[in-house]
Chains A and B, each alone.
Chain A
Amino acid sequence: MEQQIIKVKNKRGVKVIPGFKLSLGVTLSMLGILVLIPLASVLISASQLSFAEFISVVTSRQVMSGYVVSISCAFLAALVNAVFGLLITWVLVRYDFPGKRLMDGLIELPFALPTSVAGISLTYLYSDKGWIGALFAEAGIRIAYTRTGITIAMVFVGIPFVVRAVQPVLEKLDRQYEEAAEMLGAGRIYTFFHVVLPELFPALLAGFGLAFARGIGEYGSVVFIAGNIPNKTQIAPLLIMTKLEQYKYSDATAIALVLLVVSFLLMLFINSVQLYMQRFSRG
């Protein structure tokens, strides 16, 4: 009996727990049918494009401006989210105050609220006649139908990412280090930037990356507030949409392919940050 057990264990434990073949089969077939095969269609469709065609679509003025708008606004929005997300996490983890649970529960709202609802609501709020838009309109600043508006909509959708990435790390962070730093004479600000922030940084970076990726791909909440002025406030996902409505499928594929590559690179970056985090916390 004993020998039998050892034999089984020698095969790296694979055979001990039943259900390997079943779960592998279910996982692979569902993943294949629902995700991988449809995704492969983009590559199939893209392979029918010649390289020259692809370049001419992707580098056309309208498309280039779409990429620039999407990526620059998403980057700015992710930066805003990194700063405010860190602040909100700090307040949620370190302070006690009435309404804290409500605040914590509210963070996921952008996740649960349909993007079209967020889109029309933000547009109303920041238009020249809206509650916030009117204040800025008096000062001559327009928010809706400009890149500022796009950035605000992207900030809205990105809020949960940074908070939820940093929160567990900050919760686990031992306060002894901070106490030690302060005992040794470091000020609060010095302690925060030299003791706390380095610990949080990988998580912050991962949250930033997720918010950035979400912003680049975001369509619903942005499309209303953007106003979609050609070469100015058209985002890249909208261009895909427009090309599809014109039945220019190959153009849409070309634009999508570049966006896919960008988001893959971002995900690769986030994954390596997380891998680094795991090693870091283990070592």
Chain B
Amino acid sequence: MTKREQRTYQQDIVGDGISSIQKVREPRREESGQGIRYLLIGICVLFLFVMLVLPLIVVITNALRDGWAAYREAVFDEYTVKALQLTLLAAAAAVAVNTIFGVFASYLLSKFYFRGRQILAALIDIPFSISPVIAGLVFILTFGNVGWMGDFLKAHGIKIVFAVPGVILATIFVTFPFVFRELFPVMNAQGKDEEEAAALMGAGGFTIFRRITFPHIKWALLYGVILCAARALGEFGAVSVISGHLRGKTNTLPLHVEILYNEFNTTAAFAVSSVLVVLAVLILIARNVVEKFSRAKE
């Protein structure tokens, strides 16, 4: 307490008591509160600017440093376009498979109680916690030449490792729990009373899902799809292990960035990166729009 405040305090004790004590205390606290507040906000802004925004600015400035012509050449390069196509294909496959799985699995785990429910939930989360490199490795050990299915696949002329199916499988693997993780808490919180009522009144399984379960989960589903797509578009480690880096064949966009960078073709690497940055920003915007809508509906 400063000298001046102390004096006021003592005066007030003589004077009208409690209310003026508050009068003295309130502004002091507010002042220091404001100071801390700006300090904390400042630290956060600085941290996020250095950690998140600066890398984006680096990508954009480096992509454009040799001018528009070089940028366009890198972005519309034949291999870049092919890599983009494969990336989109893998992401679409991952989203489709994981949405089907997410809906069935969260329906199963939230509407029915059975033994091993917890274990099943834990198993679904596995791909979330393991290194992407290991995710790629498991497919090599399954379908590759050394894998136990390798001989069978070779005999039938099916190629999975170092081919497009491998890239797709690895992408599905790393994004496997994403839709489930978004849907399950929502379905679980909703409980199963409404479904039970509908079932007792004679509704069939599909009708129950379409008319009762689905309206509750549509925003969460969209949210999960967006997260799944984001991760699928950007997956690098797992795909890197299994793709074999065949240009124009099994190269996804994130892998193409690596190849260009390792060839010291830095400008082109950043130009291709800028395409991915744009995709990432679009996904973030979509995520925020969906979140805003779902909150508004609640």
* A and B associate in one complex: yes
Q: Decide: A114 and B280 in contact? CB cutoff 8 A.
A: yes
Binary A-proximity of B32-60 (CB < 8 A = 1, otherwise 0): 11001100110111011011111110110
- Interface residues in B77-129 by Cβ distance below 8 A to A read 97, 100-101, 104-105, 107-108, 111-114, 120, 122-127, 129
Chain B residues with a Cβ closer than 8 Å to the other chain, count: 98
Q: How far is the CB of A282 from chain B (nearest CB, A)?
A: 13
B220 CB contacts on chain A under 8 angstroms: none
Q: Which residues does chain B contribute within 8 Å of A236, judged by CB atoms? A: 131
A19-B205 in contact (CB<8A): yes
Check B131–A216 contact: CB distance below 8 A. Answer: yes
The 9 closest A-B pairs by CB, nearest first: A217-B131, A114-B234, A220-B236, A219-B237, A18-B205, A112-B280, A23-B108, A114-B254, A19-B205
> What is the 8 Å Cβ interface bit string for chain A, positions 12-41, against chain B (1 contact, 0 not)?
111011111011101100110011111101
A87–B169 CA distance with the chains assembled, in angstroms: 38
Q: Which residues of B contact A256 (CB under 8 A)?
A: 131, 133-134, 137
> For residues 261 through 298 of chain B, which have their beta carbon under 8 Å from a beta carbon of chain A?
261, 266, 269-270, 273, 276-277, 279-281, 283-285, 287-288
Best-buried of A97, A104, A110, A116 by chain B (most CB within 10 Å): A116
> Which B residues fall within an 8 A CB radius of A?
32-33, 36-37, 40-41, 43-45, 47-48, 50-56, 58-59, 62, 97, 100-101, 104-105, 107-108, 111-114, 120, 122-127, 129-134, 137-142, 144, 146-148, 169, 172-173, 176, 192, 195-196, 199-200, 204-205, 208-209, 227, 230-231, 233-237, 240-241, 253-255, 257-258, 261, 266, 269-270, 273, 276-277, 279-281, 283-285, 287-288
B196 contacts A13, C-beta separation under 8 Å: yes
> Can you name the residue of chain A whose Cβ is closest to the Cβ of B273?
A117
Interface size class of A (residues with CB under 8 A): 35 or more
Chain A residues, CB < 8 A from B270? 120-121, 124
Complex CA–CA separation, A91 to B200 (angstroms): 49
Q: Is the interface of B mostly helix, strand, loop or mixed?
A: helix
A125 and B144 alpha carbons, distance in the complex (Å): 38
Known: A132-B54, A217-B132. 10 other contacts (CB 8 A): A17-B112, A17-B199, A17-B208, A34-B169, A34-B173, A114-B233, A114-B253, A122-B55, A125-B58, A271-B122
Whether A237 and B47, one on each chain, are in contact in the complex, defined by CB atoms closer than 8 angstroms, is: no
Q: Tell whether A111 pairs with B230 under 8 Å between CB atoms, given A37-B142, A91-B41.
A: yes
Contact of A117 among B139, B147, B200, B254 (CB under 8 A): B254
Majority SS at the chain A contact face: helix
Partner pick for B127 among A35, A84, A213, CB 8 A cutoff: A35
Distance (whole angstroms) from the CB of A38 to the closest CB of chain B: 4
Asked if A88 is at the interface of the complex by the 8 Å CB criterion, the answer is yes
- Which residues of chain A from 94 to 144 have any CB-CB distance to chain B below 8 Å in the complex? 95, 97, 99, 101, 103-118, 120-122, 124-125, 130-132
Q: Nearest Cβ in chain B — how far from A146, in angstroms?
A: 18
Stretch of A53-61, A172-180, A200-208, A258-266 with 4 or more beta carbons under 8 angstroms from chain B: A258-266
Q: Give CA–CA (A31, B172) in the complex, Å.
A: 11
Residue from B146, B284, B288 within 8 A of A249 (CB atoms): B146
